[in-house]
Structures are given as C-alpha cells and as structure tokens.
Amino acid sequence: MKQLTREDLFSLEEYAEQRPGFRTKVLEHKKHRQVHIGAHATLYFEDRLTMHYQIQEMLRVERIFEKEAIQEELDAYNPLIPDGSNWKATFMMEYEDVPERQTALAQLIGVEDKVWVQVVGHDKVYAIADEDLERENAEKTSSVHFMRFELAAEMVSALKSGAALGMGIDHENYLESVPQVSTAVRDSLTADLD
C-alpha cells in the first residue's frame, strides 16, 4: 500500500470544505476494520485512508501548514500503513473505570506480545508490537500499543480464496478469542494484502 505524501493531503482550507463528507466516508470504512476481543480489548486496523484522516485531523487541530511540520506528521503516521504482506493495528485495552484500568494494566504486562491473528488452517501469527518505542515498564503495560502482523504468502492466498480469520489474546490474565471475524472485516483486511 502506497505511503502518503504532502501531495495527497488537503490544505487546511480544502479540508474545512471536504471534512464532513470525508469524515463520514472514513467512519463507515472504520466499522469494518475493528475487532473487539473480549470486553476490554480492541484491534483497530489501520490503512492508507485511516492514516490520511488521522493526519488531516492533526493538521486541522494543530493548525499546521508549514512544510517541515507536515512532513513530521507524515513521518509519524506513514509507518502505520500496511506494506502488502502485513496488517498494522492500534491495540487498545479499554477500561472506563480508572482504578479498574490501573489494576488491569498492572496485571497485563506483556499482553502486546500475546495478541494474534489466525487464518484457518495455518498457525497463529503473533503481533510484533511497539517498534517505535517501548510502551510498558516494570509496573504496568500501556493501554495503547501499535502492532504489525506479518503474514506468510500461503496465508494471504488462503484469505484471498475466502479462508476464515480468527483473532485473540493468549495472556494468562486475558484469555479471549474471536474464532471467526465477520466476512466484512475479513474482506476489508484482505484488501490490504498485495
């Protein structure tokens, strides 16, 4: 999947005009790119469109229009665009209650290395997490992690032939799985694979 350049972005003025329609398009697209794993974990799969939206929103909120600052945003978000043989996702541990979240995150150290996807008939593929920077310490893990799932060619082929896709987490304090994601999610993610 091609990375974004400055030429792909709207100016602040153009984005102000385009935002309502663009936002609606992106939010509809995102519906088929998230998987809830149990009550407190969600994988949000990123792609070129979701990153385009994220960058435009950052430029809008921060009122960024300088060339160098725009490039910094591109450099920050382009690594979250899939490369053709992988999926990239934002993984979130979501607890509304703050004390419950603090307790859970202390018990979930290493959870980011236990998140997996599985094409039916193939082995689980565990996430390569937080390549940009470490997001846990000795006391707790972060509630947000960035992940990459590298798929073998035969897995990609199986998905393109309609194989089912499951996802889950194998952490001792959070054992949850989705044996089969919806066809809409599988198809959306399969479209990321060249």
Q: How does pLDDT run along the chain (194 residues), one tens digit per residue?
A: 899 999 999 999 999 999 999 999 999 999 999 999 999 999 999 999 999 999 999 999 999 999 999 999 999 999 999 999 999 999 999 999 999 999 999 999 999 999 999 999 999 999 999 776 566 677 899 999 999 999 999 999 999 999 999 999 999 999 999 999 999 999 999 999 98
Question: What 3-state class would DSSP assign to 126?
Answer: strand
Q: How far apart are the first and last CA of the chain?
A: 8
* Segments making up each domain of the chain, as ranges: 1-31+48-81, 33-46+84-194
In 3D space, the residue among 30, 180, 137 whose CA is nearest the CA of residue 90 turns out to be 30
Architecture of domain 33-46+84-194: Sandwich (2.60)
Q: What is the pTM of this model?
A: 0.92
Contact assessment for residue 146 and residue 86, using Cβ atoms and an 8 Å cutoff: no
